[in-house]
Structure 1
Amino acid sequence: MFPSLRRVRAVLGLTVTALLLTGCGDSGSLRGAGPTPTAVGPVRLWPQLSPASAPAVDYGEADTVTVGGLTPRGDDLHRVDPLAVVLAEVAAHPDAYDGPNATYARTGRQLRDCGRRGAPGRQCPLLRAYYGDLTGDGRDDMVLGIRFPGGQLAVRVYTVERHRVVQVMGTSDRVISVELADRDVIIRSPSTLPGYEFRTVWSWDPHQHAMLATRDEILRVGTARPTRHPVSAAGPERLGSAPSRSPR
């Protein structure tokens, strides 16, 4: 009799224990995720090759230029004339903008005519200025676009360091659009491959104190070509209110 009673008690004890373990549901319990693929690490090809000692492509990383003759009041770029910034670049590079053999002689003449009344049929190549904090210092930086010959658009980013205007990004390309995502400047450019485009992302690097090309991709975008709309060279706007595309 007693052995049977002990067996009953043992069975009841196991049942109660199982209920206590499962009575609160399966919260926190482990579940199988099913079969997972085997991790495959990278395999180095041609390990006998010596590492390159020089960069293959120059994106202009960390190339910064201090704009001479401009001191913004209160370190506020909103108080700086965008045309004055570009004309300072023209003055600093006479071999590129002046003279009959200069590559951008026509652009230099057009820039000098910007804002002049009665300028004979010349469209100002300087697009509207956009402002936003790209460097994370709490102050607005300035983004400028300049139309260059051959359908190219030069994109410049300026900030203020030590009370001076400093160009922290400068690039030119044939572009589809220039966009802003948070603090990244994204430049989309056409590709020779139908249905593809290049996308370059420029981001602020606090170590170099410059905007670097942190990502360069070629993306599938379909066969339809993007619609291009003319961009006015009117007054300044904030980057947050800029259109999604700013074609050349």
Structure 2
Amino acid sequence: MSSPSGAHPGRRAATGLLTVLLLPLTGACGDTGGLVSAGVTPTASGPVHLWPGRAGAVVPPADPGGAPPEYVPGIAPVPDQNVHVIDPVALVQAELRDHPNVQTGPDGMPGETSAAIRACGAEGADPRKCPVLTPYYRDLTGNGKDELIVGIEYPEQQMSVRVYTADAEGRLNRIMATTDTVISVELAGRDVIVRVPSGNAGYEVNTTWSWDATQRSMLPTREQIVRVPGQGSGPGPSSGSRPGPSSGSGSGPIPSPGPAGAAR
């Protein structure tokens, strides 16, 4: 007898069995790659201004005219703003003549260091005892010309870091001067980074100096307190209060000097 629907009974049974087998597969495909709840998302909120009624300190606006240039006297005009022709020892000696017996500030220098610098280059003097270190060069102002970076060793691991640039008239201008107990000095792009011990044991302070075209000098634009890897929390030589850097008018470690005694 033929089926009322005209379909073969065995074929209808096979179709029904296939449908039953496909149902769990279809349900499984619906779960694959689906979104799963990660729980309640915390509500985003901005910073809360504490004590809003308090009259805060006022930041004075920067002088639009910039800081007065700290020209170095006693140095011949620099041709084509090429600071590579400058003798760094003669440069520091010229600054000493212009600021004799200064103990503090950007020109401050211990007496023994001043005496050693004055003796640099003298007949019979040991060049290894000269506190003026090998100079480095880098375009820090973005004008396409290198600036001159000079380091001066002071007693007790203190160091003075100074940066000079030459203007279009050939005058040499000091755009940075800072003195501190220095771990190391680094160059990152057009920034000078000075690493010093923090007042907290196991930490150091990294101060980034950047060129400010308005002030026409290098300014400390960023300061980070960084934990030193592998350092314990016990007292160390950096414990106590760390004085801030003394500043004047103004990533990776600096590479070793090249054969000519200088590096870019």
TM-score, normalised by the number of residues in structure 2: 0.65
Amino acid at match of 2:57: A
Q: Which residue of 2 aligns with 1:151?
A: 157
How far is 1:194 from its partner? 2.6
Cα shift at 1:76: 0.8
Alpha-carbon spacing, 1:150–1:49, altered in 2? closer, same or farther (3 Å): farther
Q: Say whether 1:51 aligns with 2:56.
A: yes
Pair 1:221–1:122, CA change in 2 (3 A): closer
Report the Cα distance in structure 2 between the residues aligned to 1:62 and 1:214, rounded to whole angstroms: 16
Counterparts in 2 of 1:1-248, with a 5 A limit? 37-53=42-58, 64-70=69-75, 71-96=77-102, 104-119=110-125, 123-161=129-167, 162-224=169-231, 236-239=261-264
TM-aligned CA deviation for residue 93 of structure 1: 1.0
Structure 1, 88-97 or 143-152: larger mean CA deviation: 88-97
Give the Cα–Cα distance (whole angstroms) in 2 for the partners of residues 140 and 127 of structure 1. Answer: 18
Q: Distance in 2 between matches of 1:33 and 1:112?
A: 74
**% identical equivalent positions:** 44
Unaligned runs of 5+ in 1: 1-30, 56-60, 226-230, 240-248
**Letter in structure 2 aligned against 1:75:** Q
* Inter-partner Cα distance in structure 2 for 1:95 and 1:84: 18
> Which aligned runs of 4 or more in structure 1 are off by greater than 3 angstroms?
31-37, 61-64
Aligned length: 194
1:242 alignment partner in structure 2: none
Task: Measure, in 2, the Cα distance between the counterparts of 1:167 and 1:43.
Answer: 42
Shift of 1:65: 1.2
Asked if the contact 1:194/1:223 (under 8 Å) is kept, the reply is no
Structure 2, unpaired ranges of 5+: 1-34, 61-65, 233-255
Structure 1 position 195, deviation (Å) = 2.1
Name the SS of the counterpart of 1:95 in structure 2.
Answer: coil
Distance 1:124 1:33 in 2: 68
Separation in 1, partners of 2:190, 2:160: 19
